[in-house]
Structure 1
Amino acid sequence: MTTKPFPSELRDWVAGHLPGLDASEDRSWPRSSSRVWRVTAGSRTAYVKIGPSDLDYEREIAGYAYAAAHLTDREAPRLLAADPRLRAILSSVLPGRVVRALPLEPDVELRLFEDAGRLLRRWHDASGPGTDADRAAVRAELREQAQEAAECLESTAPYLAADRLALVEAASKELVGLADQLPLVYRHGDYETRNWLYDEETGRHGLIDFAMARRGVAAAEFVWLFGALWPLRPDLREAYFAGYGRPLTAEEDRLLHLLTVRLGVSYLHNGLVEGREDLVARGRLALDRMVAHRP
């Protein structure tokens, strides 16, 4: 991946908040929309990020405020400065390393997943009631996903067995109604292992990246874990929900199942359109797993 240059205008802005700025290191994810740098000024370090859109920027600023109110500064970074014109966010450095692909002893991994569930439950419990506007936004989001499932059904039908087709059809018809049955929470929105940090010195679990934070249903937080990780590691799911403090309700389990079906058929559709076998394989695997797990 090509290293992304540190824009001069951004450098000047950071230097105004971090005097003595002397180094920057690209820490972006391997996608075009990700622009993140670790910056240093003598012994001080921070992260600076350019939000990919105004909406991402606004959500992340709100997410930082929420994290500061409900998580300690060892559990979530703090917002140091922000500029809406640049969509720039300067934040403190949280101790630890990203959990995804981090080699962990089995007992440490189980404890980490339990801690992750416990932290997310605290995050959700602090949400407060949503508004009618929040409910309408969630309904619109789920309607879009249901429509996507319906559109993907047309393109992928020749490649799917009857049981897979039935699941995609169910996703296209049931998602909106299921969402209306469930309470709203303030979601992190991207609560997966790439945004968890583990501090080996203290054993603490930390959380980063609030660009997708918004109101929604709790079950939507679990889609990546449910589709990619838990089918292979049911022990990690058990530890996670032990920390979360309650199992999913029947309605939440059904919603989670169909949201994951929607994601799987989207991968399959995009893979077929773009000629990408990796996406085709990912989509097929997700749908196979959802057939095996019927709530």
Structure 2
Amino acid sequence: MASHAPMPEDLWQWVANRVPGADGGADVSWPRGNSRVWRVASEGGDSVFVKISPSVAAFEREIAGYAHAAAALQPHQAPRLLAVDLDLLAIMSSPLPGRVVRGLPLEAAEEREVHEQAGHLLRGWHDHSQAPSAHDKQTIYAAIIAQADEANACLERTAAYLDSAQCALVQCVVDELPLLVDEVPIVFRHGDHATRNWLWNPAGSVGVIDFETAAVGIAAEEFVWLSGAVWPERPDLKNAHLTGYGRPLSEAEERLLLLLAARLGVSYLSSGLTKNRPDLVARGRYVLERMARQACHPRPGSQPM
């Protein structure tokens, strides 16, 4: 996909010792700089996926994610961990049947079925979560404060490019985000719940891959990408997804989701302007315009930070 890079020699030796008759591996990395993933076929025709994590922290999160998936999901819903190497930050996993959902030419009814099943899968993942510790809660609160601070910095850089409704929306992000943490459920999150990480098997099942950002966090954060990129123009997919998830979002979760999507949008816009990336600018405008269509009035009782 991205670089079609050959597998490093030390990684190849590690793989060859574990996969009889392994081929050289096909680069199937995502089109981003730190993605390094290969599909390796064995002499029997079976395949495994091999990944080099971008950091020790990402490696540890992914291992935890695989353990959670094995406990919470059925074998057809998630790949299984086959081998790891801390020195190489290498992860070997089983294949999962199906095709990546993003970009698939699906009929509307089939697409709704995919989103409903993905919501059901996510609920199973969340329901297996342990109660958050005091440390977990402190970490989550600090992360939300950091997002509010980032939004404030982005607002200063992008205010001249925003209309009044968009400026007001981003200001709501700054003022309200930290107030919502205690009002919403905390779970062990997949962390990147987007269609690029869903696999659709036409036999009738959805699976999920890529656990690099799995961690304890706010449940509603799972829906940020969907909320900003899909749901504004496809409310039928939101309804399908939450039907599968088994419950509607609470008022506090809806508000949090709106603000988190707006934070993502202004971050895209700020990065695009700084890096002269028209694609990021367009993405940021897309998200902000759609989020600003929803009324942005401070919730009763909220006070500026």
TM-score after normalising by structure 2: 0.94
For 1:158 and 1:225, the matched residues in 2 are separated by 27
User: Which residue identity does 1:111 align to in structure 2?
Assistant: E
Equivalent residue number for residue 76 of structure 1: 78
Equivalent residue number for residue 274 of structure 2: 273
1:158-206: CA deviations, max 9, x gaps? 1111111111111112112211222210000001100000112x21110
Equivalent residue number for residue 29 of structure 1: 30
Q: Secondary structure at the match of 1:282?
A: helix
Equivalent residue number for residue 42 of structure 2: 41
CA shift for structure 1 position 2: 3.0
Equivalent residue number for residue 162 of structure 2: 160
Taking the TM superposition and a 5 Å limit, the aligned residue runs for 1:101-116 are 101-116=103-118
Contact map agreement 1:23 1:41 (CA 8 A) in 2? no
Equivalent residue number for residue 99 of structure 1: 101
TM-score after normalising by structure 1: 0.97
CA shift for structure 1 position 19: 2.2
More deviation in 283-292 or 29-38? 283-292
Contact map agreement 1:37 1:48 (CA 8 A) in 2? yes
1:226 and 2:227 matched? yes
Gaps of 5+ in 2: 297-305
Equivalent residue number for residue 179 of structure 2: 177
For 1:209 and 1:237, the matched residues in 2 are separated by 22
For 1:294 and 1:215, the matched residues in 2 are separated by 30
Contact map agreement 2:231 2:237 (CA 8 A) in 1? yes
For 2:280 and 2:46, the matched residues in 1 are separated by 41
Q: Secondary structure at the match of 2:16?
A: helix
Equivalent residue number for residue 60 of structure 1: 62
Could you list the structure 1 runs, at least 4 aligned residues long, displaced by more than 6 angstroms after superposition: none
Contact map agreement 1:127 1:185 (CA 8 A) in 2? yes
CA shift for structure 1 position 15: 1.2
CA shift for structure 1 position 265: 0.5
User: Which residue identity does 2:216 align to in structure 1?
Assistant: R
For 2:200 and 2:160, the matched residues in 1 are separated by 44
Equivalent residue number for residue 240 of structure 2: 239
For 1:173 and 1:28, the matched residues in 2 are separated by 38
Equivalent residue number for residue 300 of structure 2: none
1:69-100: CA deviations, max 9, x gaps? 11111110000000111110000000111000
1:148 and 2:130 matched? no
CA shift for structure 1 position 294: 3.2
1:263 and 2:268 matched? no
Equivalent residue for 1:126, pick from 128, 142, 145: 128
CA shift for structure 1 position 27: 0.3
Q: How many residues align?
A: 294
Q: CA RMSD in A?
A: 1.1
Equivalent residue number for residue 189 of structure 1: 191
User: Which residue identity does 2:131 align to in structure 1?
Assistant: P
For 1:86 and 1:66, the matched residues in 2 are separated by 22
Identity %: 53
1:126-168: CA deviations, max 9, x gaps? 1121100110111111111111001011111111111111111
Q: Secondary structure at the match of 2:130?
A: coil
CA shift for structure 1 position 274: 1.4
1:89-120: CA deviations, max 9, x gaps? 00000011100001112221111111011111
User: Which residue identity does 2:99 align to in structure 1?
Assistant: R
Equivalent residue number for residue 303 of structure 2: none
For 1:136 and 1:270, the matched residues in 2 are separated by 28
Gaps of 5+ in 1: none
User: Which residue identity does 1:139 align to in structure 2?
Assistant: Y
Contact map agreement 2:190 2:215 (CA 8 A) in 1? yes
Contact map agreement 1:138 1:216 (CA 8 A) in 2? yes
For 1:199 and 1:70, the matched residues in 2 are separated by 19
User: Which residue identity does 1:20 align to in structure 2?
Assistant: G
